[in-house]
Every structure is written in C-alpha cells, then in structure tokens.
Homo-oligomer: A and B are copies of this chain.
C-alpha cells in the first residue's frame, strides 16, 4: 500500500459525480442547515455513501473563504509561550484558554512567527511585521503579556480586529477590551484585613516596573490607607523602589507594624533584612505579598490568588461574544483575586 500521491484531495465535485447529483446538492447535504436543504433521505444516503467511498473531507480553507469562520482563535504572546524559566506566567492562562477553546470548538493559533527576525534576539514579538498582521489568520485573538509597543494595540483596535487583552493596558484613544485581575481590589482588601487586625502604621515596598498591574496595586493600597485613616510614610508609598536601609531601621524600631510588598522576591529580601536587625515575621512585623506565591511557597506568605485559568476561560468567552456580535465593544472586565492566608500576617501585639 502506498500513499496516495499528494495530489488532490477529493472535492465535493468528485462526490457529486459519484453520487450522480450536483455539487451544490452535496454541499447542501453535508453542511447546509437542514432547513434550506430539501433533500430526501435516499439521496442523502447516496451522497454519504460517496463521501465515505472517496474519503472526502471538507476543505476548511475553502469553507473559510466563503466568509464563514475559520474557527481559529489566535493567541499572541509578546514573549515566548513556553519559556524556560518563569513558566508559570503564561502557563495557567493558556490552560484556561485551551480548555475553553476545546469546549467551544475552536482551534488555537499560537503566533510565534512575529519574532524579530534573527533567532538570537530579545524574543520580543510584534504584531505587525513588515506591514503585515498575521493575526487575522484567526477569527479573533487573545493578547497576553508585556506589550511594549502600545501603538500596535491602538492600530489593531482601530482596524476593528476582534481581540481581548489579558491584563490591564491603557492605550490613549483606544478602548481595548480586556480581562483584568483585580489587583486594586485585592490590595485594598489586604489593607482592610491588616486594619482589622489592629495595624495602623503600614509600609509599602514596590517593584521597579511602572506598568499598569503595579499601578493598580499601588492605587488600591493608597486608596485603602486613606479610606481607613491609616498612616504610611514608607518610601514605597511615596514612589521609591525597592527597600531602603534607613527605613528598615525605622521599621525595626517599630515605625510600622505591617508591610505590604509587591512581590515574593522583595518579601524574601525584606524578611532577610529584618532578620538581620533581629526582627521576626510575623511576631514583630506582619508582611503581605501582592502576588500569587509559587505553589511550593503557598501557605507560607499571606498573598493573593490570581485565578489565571479562570481568566483565560473568560477571555475566550468574551472574544466569542465579540465575534457573535461585532458591535459589542466591551471594555474592561475585572476578575476578583481572593486573598490567601499564610503565616506572615498576625494581629498587632500578639
């Protein structure tokens, strides 16, 4: 047995010939909705018989060309999808996207071709490459990651391409549809909890990045501090990055009883530097982290859960809603991030 030589898959026309009907009859039977197709059972059977005999399968490209959906859902990540390190970032989003795509009968296109040419480059990916946008290969796309070039997003939006961005990204003049973890709310909730436990003087340690997800955290924190009438004079609260030694000395002296930190990395550093000053967490200072702690550290830091899988699923659903109703240009959707208790926050004076 030898493979049929690569030429010509059978078409509807072939099927039609074999069944002794016209091509359009075949089309009607195979894919036409039963309503418009008034074809009696015996003809149907003859056609299906011919289909089986020839091993006919519909050509999706041709089908797509008739203005039907391609049933392809694009996924554009601004960095490599399967990274060596930091695999946790994309992975869970993709998990949800894949699940939901499968459930709704879509295939996923991972756009990788838009890397910046040479292989050794920074791995940063662009949507538009030499004036061509591969994204509309798919019915719509989910965008994911750290998009440095907002112009691209603006253009995509302007062109009316249906897409959903995961994570908040503000682009002036464009109201891009996005699914956003509610860092702001979660940060506020963490402050609420600290206040409940009797903490009045707080501190804040911020990362170096100036992107929206961090802005949200900072806003939520500042808002809650204000609302509850707490005090914070930490450098991070005023905009300084990282941990300052002077301030640590003050904290060790009791200037703050609870500290909110933007990342596990910084929290660990904080822990070590406090330890060096003879202060323990949570006995002397409570610490909460505004990030999802990795699985092996979960249950340790008081932190938050980013429901990434759920966000991926939601993004798919919103995209599909946009496809079904093109006029529906929805804005942001906030997804709550529950707090997860750990062992680094305690009531004041315990």
Does the CB pair B58–A131 fall under 8 Å? yes
Q: Which of A80-88, A230-238, A273-281, A282-290 contacts B (4 or more CB under 8 A)?
A: A80-88
A55 contacts B by Cβ under 8 Å:
yes
Known interface pairs A6-B160, A158-B4, A160-B5. Does A98 touch B110 (Cβ–Cβ under 8 Å)? yes
A95 neighbours in B (Cβ, 8 Å): 82, 84
- Distance between Cα atoms of A337 and B166 in the complex (Å): 39
The 8 Å CB contact of A102, one of B72, B80, B84, is B80
A147 to nearest B CB, angstroms? 17
Whether the pair A82, B91 counts as a contact (CB closer than 8 A) is: yes
In the complex, the answer to whether A71 meets B158 with C-beta atoms within 8 Å is no
A 82-104 contacts with B by CB, 8 A: 82, 84, 86-87, 91, 94-95, 98-99, 101-103
- Contact size class for A? 35 or more
For A51, the chain B residues whose CB sits under 8 A away are 131
- Chain B residues with CB under 8 A of A132: 57-58, 60
A107, B103: Cβ atoms under 8 Å? no
Report whether B113 and A110 are in contact in the complex, using a CB–CB cutoff of 8 Å. Answer: no
A202 to B294, CA, bound (A): 42
Q: Which of B70, B82, B133 contacts A55 (CB 8 A)?
A: B133
> Is A193 positioned at the interface, with any CB of B under 8 Å from its CB?
no
- The verdict on A65 contacting B57 (CB below 8 Å), with A106-B113, A110-B108, A110-B109 known, is no
Q: Is B82 in contact with A86, judged by CB distance below 8 angstroms?
A: no
| Neighbouring B residues of A102 by C-beta, 8 Å | 80, 112-113, 115, 119
CB A96 to nearest CB in B, in angstroms, measures 9
Nearest B residue to A135 by beta-carbon distance? B57
Contacts of A119 in B (CB 8 A): 102-103
Using a CB–CB cutoff of 8 Å, the interface residues on chain A facing chain B are 1, 3-7, 9, 30, 48, 51-52, 55-62, 64-65, 70-72, 80-82, 84, 86-87, 91, 94-95, 98-99, 101-103, 105-113, 115, 119, 128, 131-134, 136-137, 155, 157-160, 162, 173-174, 326, 329
Identify the 5 closest CB pairs spanning chains A and B, nearest first. A61-B64, A108-B110, A6-B160, A102-B112, A6-B326
Interface pairs (13), CB distance under 8 Å: A1-B158, A3-B157, A3-B160, A48-B131, A55-B159, A57-B134, A57-B136, A60-B137, A98-B112, A102-B113, A103-B119, A107-B111, A108-B112
